[in-house]
Amino acid sequence: MSCLERGKSTILFLVRPSSINLAVFAYGIENSWISPMTKSLQSDHSPAGEPLSDYQISWIASLLCIAAVFGAPVYSYIADRFGRKAAVMAILLPQAISSAMKLYPTIYMLTASRIIAGLSAGGIFNIIPMYVKEISHENLRGILGSILVMAQNLGVLVMYLLGGYLDYYTVQWSIIGIPILAAIVMIKAPEAPAFLVKKDKIEEAMQTVAFLRGLNKDDKRVQDEIDCMRKEEEEFKSLPNVELKDLFMDEKWRRGVIIILVASTVHACNGAYAIIVYAVTLLNKAGGEMEISTELQSVSFPIVMILACVLLALFVERFGRKPLLAGAYFISALSFASIATAILLKETGTYVAPAWFPLLTMIVCVFAYAGGVSSLLYIIMTEMFNFQIRAKVLGIVVTYIWLLESIQLLVYAPISNLFGFHTLFFIFAAINLLGFTFTCICTPETKGRSEEEIQRIIRGHVNKDC
């Protein structure tokens, strides 16, 4: 292989994982789509033909999460049976179909489009990270993996900007080509070498590794990497099959799984996800009179989320996982309690907070979510369990979180309409306070510890290291 060819392969190796994150970028757009579109859909000139009610908006919003519950296991099966590349392509097709369906925005088409988008969303955090990890060199996996969260937040930012200043149909035409572009990029993308080794296609796996690393096929480094993959595959096959019930019946795993499930419950019901999805609506109802439009105010959310991700990458190895997660929950609890109190005082006529106060507290909530609550759970979880059960636990937790987030979006409208927004925010404050307490008492610090060390801490009684 010539120097020119090696350079070209290396560039492709760096660009392709980032290009694949176009699927995550499209998910970020879809995930936040309902926020800027609610104003248009509930207007007198609604593209749906009639103004949609709060309950209809709530159902449309939650359908993505509900469908993702069923999509997650389907994409896991596709990835194991047909390959990682096929699974990524299978994510992009529903994304394109969902975007096209929104060009005919009847209530039935919007419902169907969100279900289809939700099915593809079920594979986003299972398949994309897996594929990027398996085609990337170990020295760049952390950098390329961090692009995933960044791509999602950039998608949210773009959706808020487009939805805030363009009409409904212009927005749809602007985003419809993103999954199509990603699919074109994927056509010539290689299959993951680890999957090829799993299917005993060693020669093809060697060619793929050589191409991705910019090396000759007969280079010793290519052979060493393939040998490592074969060893991992043989070791995996030699392990006993772990059933779902074993995770709860086996004492060596039960406590860790329970800790993660409780932590996942608090994570999913934290409340920041509702702010992201219903940003414009919340600012209209909870915010004060400001010269800046609520659409422009909402743009601050994805911006601070991107900043939070950058800061987390800088400090997570310095301060550890547990202190940052506990701090994120505590800050969230204070922020939700503050805005709930401000709303309650305003409704009773006791005191009116400054117009900027609701926006500031919501910004703090999404900052703590993006820089701690959202990311650190997955980091802790992957470090707590070995690869024998890691995939199974991750699949359970991702499905469970999708289910809880769909419930959160469903109850948003009934609770806020029946009991007021202050009640909703007080509930979120209590949940975050519970998360802070649970993290301090039960969640282990995983930074710099092996899986065996972490499991010994978990299986023991709660102590200062726990």
Angle between helices 300-319 and 141-165 (to 10 degrees): 160
- 254 versus 30: which is more confidently predicted? 30
Of the candidates 109, 23, 118, which has an alpha carbon nearest to the alpha carbon of residue 64?
118
**Residue 191 · residue 100 · CB < 8 Å:** no
Is 375 inside a domain boundary? yes
Mean pLDDT of 90-118: 93
Is 219 inside a domain boundary? no
Domain boundary among 173, 189, 205: 189
- In this prediction, residue 239 carries a pLDDT of 65
**Torsion angle of C-alpha atoms 98, 101, 107, 111, degrees rounded to 10:** -20
**Torsion angle of C-alpha atoms 84, 87, 88, 91, degrees rounded to 10:** -160
**Residue 372 · residue 366 · CB < 8 Å:** no
Same domain assignment for residues 126 and 256: no
Q: What angle do CA 44, 48, 51 make, to 5 degrees?
A: 35
- In this prediction, residue 289 carries a pLDDT of 63
Same domain assignment for residues 387 and 309: yes
**Residue 269 · residue 430 · CB < 8 Å:** no
Is 265 inside a domain boundary? yes
Residue 399 token pair: 């499905």
- In this prediction, residue 331 carries a pLDDT of 94
Residue 292: φ, ψ to 5°: -80, 135
The pTM assigned to this predicted structure is 0.77
> Tell me: the pLDDT tens digits for 214-246?
778 778 888 888 888 888 777 777 766 766 676
Cβ-defined contacts of 93-97 (< 8 Å, 24+)? 93/120, 93/179, 93/183, 94/119, 94/120, 95/23, 95/26, 95/27, 95/30, 95/120, 95/178, 95/179, 96/176, 96/179, 96/180, 96/183
Same domain assignment for residues 6 and 130: yes
Is 292 inside a domain boundary? yes
Same domain assignment for residues 114 and 263: no
Q: What pLDDT band is residue 6 in, cutting at 50, 70 and 90? A: very low
Same domain assignment for residues 369 and 433: yes
Same domain assignment for residues 264 and 378: yes
Same domain assignment for residues 411 and 311: yes
- In this prediction, residue 114 carries a pLDDT of 94
- 277 versus 11: which is more confidently predicted? 277
Calculate what percentage of the chain has a pLDDT beyond 90. Answer: 19
Mean pLDDT of 155-174: 90
Same domain assignment for residues 377 and 455: yes
- In this prediction, residue 2 carries a pLDDT of 45
Is 215 inside a domain boundary? no
Q: What pLDDT band is residue 288 in, cutting at 50, 70 and 90? A: low
Q: For the residues of 112-150, what is the DSSP string, one character each?
A: HHHHHHHHHHHHHHHHHHHHHHHHS-TTTHHHHHHHHHH
Query: Buried (b) or exposed (e) across 296-329, using 16+ Cβ within 10 A?
Result: ebbbbbbbbbbebbeebbeebeeeebbebbbbbb
Is 3 inside a domain boundary? yes
Is 318 inside a domain boundary? yes
Mean pLDDT of 2-8: 44
- In this prediction, residue 258 carries a pLDDT of 86
Q: What pLDDT band is residue 463 in, cutting at 50, 70 and 90? A: very low
- In this prediction, residue 466 carries a pLDDT of 42
* Distances from the Cα of 45 to the Cα of 161, 202, 285, angstroms: 21, 60, 21
Same domain assignment for residues 183 and 275: no
15 pLDDT higher than 70: no
Write the CATH number for 116. Answer: 1.20.1250.20
Residue 118 token pair: 């939700």
Is 72 inside a domain boundary? yes
The total domain count for the chain is: 2
Q: What is the Cβ-side half-sphere exposure of residue 249, based on CA atoms within 13 angstroms? A: 5
Radius of gyration of the chain (CA): 23
Domain boundary among 120, 155, 189: 189
8 pLDDT higher than 50: no
Angle between helices 357-368 and 321-347 (to 10 degrees): 160
Tokens 């806020």 belong to which residue?
416
Kindly report which listed range (59-68, 293-302, 435-444) carries the lowest average pLDDT score: 293-302
Range of the domain at 435: 242-466
- In this prediction, residue 399 carries a pLDDT of 83
Domain boundary among 189, 220, 251: 189
Mean pLDDT of 189-200: 84
Same domain assignment for residues 152 and 301: no
Tokens 């060893």 belong to which residue?
231
Same domain assignment for residues 259 and 368: yes
Same domain assignment for residues 304 and 388: yes
Calculate what percentage of the chain has a pLDDT beyond 70. Answer: 86
Mean pLDDT of 36-65: 88
- In this prediction, residue 9 carries a pLDDT of 45
